[in-house]
Chains A and B, each alone.
Chain A
Amino acid sequence: MLDKLKKYYAKILRIFKRKKQIQLGFYGAVNAGKTTLANRISLDWLGKEVGTVSEIPHETRHVQKVENIVVKTNNGELKMNIVDMPGIATQVDYKHFRDYGLGDDDARERAKEATKGVIEAIKWLDNVDAVLVVMDSAEDPYTQVNVTIIGNLEARGIPTIIVANKIDLPESSPSSIENAFPQHVVVPISAATGENIDKLYEAIQEHLT
């Protein structure tokens, strides 16, 4: 009961305590495109990338932070630090990495780091002001990982936007995400091509600051 009261208190505080610079966390399942999006934003405004992108799952196994990004939109300036999180997963099997050509030792090491990365990402929920939940719009959005992430953000009262990523793919269906999570703002984008990225900046300014 005390925990619940504390969370409600935190929610109320957030309403009155608008920050000039937000700590924006990127959450989502593995391979949803979080690092591609973080790179896109960082390249747009700082001219440098955040991290490496690859097809191998769990490429991002440590939290990656880029500070002091100033985004300019039609509605003014937006100052933020972006925190790219490792993908959340409920299982990590090292044998899966061998399918991508990794040797046994490398695959085991990657799996070990991946499990630590998931824990690190969960711990970071206590340190973010706002969150972009990145979902692959070409996949079924109603997975337990997505439901758990969204549920935690709601319980903590953390302002959230869902990014329906990969709209450049022919099988993309952002409306599936809107139907699955109707209580949240959903912005369809392609982090890979940059399509609609300006709409995302405007949504961040409108809903997360």
Chain B
Amino acid sequence: MEVQLDFVSSESLASKASVEKVAFILERIKKNVIVVLEEGLSPEEETELIEATMREIDAKDFHGIEFYRLDHRARTLRDKIASYISGRRPGLTIVGPTRMVEAIKKEPNYLSMLARGGGKKRRTSARGAGKSTKKARKRS
């Protein structure tokens, strides 16, 4: 089994409502695709994702997800206003099916993901845009 990663631009997510965004993610996850979003999901979207995941779990094929959000702190007032109006959270979100994603670990300034495809472990990393994780943590 190979590992497929889909990178999704924030532009393609902009027109989607939260429900559509969650459905879009889960549809791919259930096909054993790891999804990397070019934005941070909002906390409400994250709980929607967890709820939808719980509804989809079945004993045979799908046992859930692993996901992690890496925030990018808006530094200027302009960035903050733009983020507020657009509803977009600058950052990165990685979501994968739990059967493939063995672990997602947060390191200073990057996320490290250990994925399993065909029994072999493959490591991939995503470096954060934020200056430091401490700042990102303060926003959480």
Residue B43 at the chain A interface, CB threshold 8 Å? yes
Query: Given A152-B43, A155-B42, A181-B140, are A119 and B54 also a contact pair (CB < 8 Å)?
Result: yes
- Within the complex, what minimum Cβ distance (angstroms) separates A175 from chain B? 14
A148 touches B43 (CB 8 A): yes
Q: Are A119 and B55 in contact (CB under 8 A)?
A: yes
Give the distance in Å from the alpha carbon of A203 to the alpha carbon of B118 in the complex: 51
Please determine whether A122 and B47 come into contact, CB atoms closer than 8 angstroms. Answer: yes
Hey, what's the 0/1 contact readout for B93-104 against A, CB within 8 Å counting as 1? 000001000001
Evaluate contact between A150 and B140: CB separation under 8 angstroms: yes
Q: Chain A at the B interface: mostly helix, strand, loop or mixed?
A: helix
The residues of A that contact B98 with a CB separation of less than 8 Å are: 90-91, 93
Q: Are A115's CB and B55's CB within 8 A?
A: yes
**CA separation between A151 and B44, bound complex, in Å?**
8
A115-170: which residues lie under 8 A (CB-CB) from chain B? Answer: 115-116, 118-119, 122, 125, 142, 144, 147-148, 150-152, 154-155
Q: Is the pair B43, A92 in contact by a Cβ cutoff of 8 Å?
A: no
- For window 23-55 of chain B, which residues contact chain A by CB distance below 8 Å? 42-44, 46-47, 50-51, 53-55
* Identity of the chain A residue whose Cβ is nearest the Cβ of B140 in the assembled complex: A147
- In the complex, what residues of B have CB within 8 A of residue A14's CB? none
Q: How far is the CB of A72 from chain B (nearest CB, A)?
A: 35
Give the complex CA separation of A131 and B65 in angstroms.
Answer: 25
Question: Is A108 an interface residue, CB under 8 A from the partner?
Answer: yes
Name the 8 nearest CB pairs between A and B, nearest first: A91-B64, A151-B43, A93-B63, A115-B54, A91-B98, A148-B46, A152-B43, A147-B140
Q: Mind listing 26 A-B residue pairs with CB under 8 Å?
A: A4-B84, A90-B64, A90-B67, A91-B57, A91-B63, A91-B65, A91-B98, A92-B54, A93-B98, A115-B55, A115-B57, A118-B50, A122-B50, A125-B47, A142-B106, A144-B46, A144-B67, A147-B140, A148-B43, A150-B140, A151-B42, A154-B43, A155-B43, A155-B44, A179-B137, A182-B138
**A contact set with B: CB distance below 8 Å:** 1, 4, 88-94, 108, 111, 115-116, 118-119, 122, 125, 142, 144, 147-148, 150-152, 154-155, 179-183
